[in-house]
Amino acid sequence: MQINLSNLGKRYNYEWIFRNLTYTFESGTSYAILGHNGSGKSTLLTIIAGHNLHSEGDITYTLGSKTVASDEAYRHLSLTAPYLELVEEFTLLEMLDFHTRFKQLRHNLTNLELIERMGLQRSKNKFVKDFSSGMKQRLKLGLALYSDTQLLLLDEPTTNLDQEGVAWYQEHVELNKQGRLVIVGSNIHHEYAFCEQQLRISDYHVAPRVR
């Protein structure tokens, strides 16, 4: 998937978060969106995911030679982020059964094979609400990385992961990035070290007007 941002801007109430953002994300490339806390990384990722509205400018999605309508883009993307909730009332197996009704898995994986890849086989009948925060994060990442989507959006992907979890993330992102467009929102080097391109959101901040 290719994404073109043209003079994109977002404001909440009277505060502009970024403006005049013109940028192209190309398929088969990994991008890091960098910036300090509160700089607008999550805002941009959620706009690209269609979970949030931009205030000005345009965003276009292209798959092969076809334009994808912005209200259809969700079919082609996976998003993982700390603010997204899992369905806590499901067991892990039920969660995967539910998820794969909407999004198929890559590599023809079965649900049980994905559970093994996530290293969660001992918890397949455990309720998601009883998972540790690191287990929940592994589950969110597993669902995103292994869904058969062209666009992978990873916001703060190693939140709550220990060293082993970070190594798991790095291994599985490497296994699943080929041929996809990957965009990581982060300010932690080990989360985005694999990205070939970097976009600094602060380059698109608006200087406050002097009265």
Considering beta carbons, is residue 85 or 179 the nearer one to ligand ATP?
Answer: 85
Taking the complex as a whole, how short is the minimal distance between the CB of residue 140 and ligand ATP, in angstroms?
16
Taking the complex as a whole, how short is the minimal distance between the CB of residue 177 and ligand ATP, in angstroms?
22
Q: What is the rounded distance in angstroms from the CA atom of residue 66 to the CA atom of residue 1? A: 10
Would you state the structure tokens that stand for residue 86, as one six-digit string? 């899992």
Q: What are the residue ranges of helices labelled H in 1-80?
A: 41-49
Share of the chain residues as helix, strand and coil, in percent rounded to the nearest 5: 35, 30, 35
Taking the complex as a whole, how short is the minimal distance between the CB of residue 22 and ligand ATP, in angstroms?
19
Considering beta carbons, is residue 12 or 98 the nearer one to ligand ATP?
Answer: 12
Taking the complex as a whole, how short is the minimal distance between the CB of residue 136 and ligand ATP, in angstroms?
18
Residue 136's φ and ψ, nearest 5 degrees, are -65, -40
Residues that bind ligand ATP in the complex, under the rule CB under 6 A: 12, 17, 35, 37-43
Considering beta carbons, is residue 11 or 106 the nearer one to ligand ATP?
Answer: 11
Would you state the structure tokens that stand for residue 118, as one six-digit string? 């996530």
Considering beta carbons, is residue 100 or 156 the nearer one to ligand ATP?
Answer: 156
Taking the complex as a whole, how short is the minimal distance between the CB of residue 17 and ligand ATP, in angstroms?
5
C-alpha distances out from residue 22 to 3, 9, 18, 19, 103, Å: 11, 9, 11, 9, 30
Would you state the structure tokens that stand for residue 177, as one six-digit string? 């990035």
Would you state the structure tokens that stand for residue 193, as one six-digit string? 């070290």
Considering beta carbons, is residue 80 or 150 the nearer one to ligand ATP?
Answer: 80
